[in-house]
Amino acid sequence: MRSTKKKVFSLYLFSLIRTFVAENNYVIPIIMEKTIDLHKIIYSKIGNKARLVPIKWFEKFIHLDEINEFLWESRDLKGTDWTEAVLKRLNITLKVEGRENLPPADTKQAYTFVSNHSLGAADGIGLLYTLGKHFGGAERVGVFANDILTHLPGLKPFIIPINKTGAQDRSLPAVMNGYFSSDKHILLFPAGIVGRKKNGVVHDLEWSKIFITQSVKNKRDVVPIHFIGENSPFFYRITRYFDWFLLRKGAGRLFNFFLLPDEMMKTQGKTYRVVIGKPIPWQTFDKSRKPKEWAQYVSDIVHKL
């Protein structure tokens, strides 16, 4: 008897709650998993020095709550579908020129795609979406990127992680060689860090030669891409006065990385032009120039597209 009364009371209480929700348009909050834990990430990167970092402030600065909300909403999306969802969420439009220069989608040859790094976040998402859509997904396309990005489940299928904030793993050359010798197309930002503005013009820092040496070794043609865009004036003011710190390995590179989520939020509603150049045969990079000189040669081509 007592059990029956409890059931009746529970049903009555549930009915009252349901009526209140319906009449007041009240939304019951959904339990959301915290995908990114900034506290754990920072401690894993710089150890006890993290005690000096105002983590709560950084959480607000990088829009962590908004990012975690999107990651929860898009938790079932991976690879190209996820990058498309990001572009839609930010209302970013890509105007891609030179699609005819992309290798056939079913090509058996693996290519190296190199681009300037003008934005640091939206450019990577946009290019992975473009290449992923063309070649059929993350199974055929990978990007060498900061290992912190592996904390983004939807992006992780594309990521070939590189530790840019701590001591680099000695096995990195072997890992890179393994990917370059595979049948996977590889996207690189050879500058390794976001472009800076000088005399009113955004330009990359010096390009690494590794895409030259590895492309020649593995007989990969190189496709140059120019992503045209700028970050906010705030970003260029900070990098102008504090690059002495932001370009240092360790905490400097970590803080440089934390500038990018805020910049990505500022891309909402913008249109970017992407120009894809003609593939450069790997045989071009002969011994008439040093690999670093060939890297500068390709960089010049990219910035002129």
**94 φ, ψ to 5°?**
-110, 125
Kindly state whether residue 59 falls inside one of the protein's structural domains. Answer: no
Please report the pLDDT score of residue 198 as a whole number.
85
Kindly state whether residue 65 falls inside one of the protein's structural domains. Answer: no
DSSP 150: G
Work out the mean pLDDT of the chain and round it to a whole number.
Answer: 83
Q: Count of domains in the chain?
A: 1
Question: pLDDT (tens digit, 9 = 90+) per residue, 24-57?
Answer: 554 444 445 666 666 777 777 667 776 767 777 7
Kindly state whether residue 32 falls inside one of the protein's structural domains. Answer: no
Helix (H, G, I), strand (E, B) or coil at 43: helix
Q: 39: number of CA atoms within 13 Å, CB side?
A: 3
Cβ neighbours for 60, distance < 8 A, ≥ 6 positions apart: none
Kindly state whether residue 294 falls inside one of the protein's structural domains. Answer: yes
Question: pLDDT (tens digit, 9 = 90+) per residue, 180-232?
Answer: 988 999 999 999 889 998 888 888 999 999 999 999 999 999 999 999 999 99
Q: pTM to 2 decimals?
A: 0.82
Kindly state whether residue 220 falls inside one of the protein's structural domains. Answer: yes
**89-93, 110-114, 161-165: segment of lowest average pLDDT:** 161-165
Kindly state whether residue 183 falls inside one of the protein's structural domains. Answer: yes
Question: pLDDT (tens digit, 9 = 90+) per residue, 224-269?
Answer: 999 999 999 999 998 888 888 778 877 777 778 778 888 888 899 9
**Count of residues making up the chain:** 305
Kindly state whether residue 55 falls inside one of the protein's structural domains. Answer: no
- Asked if 150 contacts 162 with a C-beta cutoff of 8 angstroms, the reply is no
Rounded Cα–Cα distance for residues 229 and 203 (Å):
11
Kindly state whether residue 210 falls inside one of the protein's structural domains. Answer: yes
Residue-number span of the structural domain to which 173 is assigned: 75-304
* CATH number reported for the structural domain that contains residue 289 in this entry: 3.40.1130.10
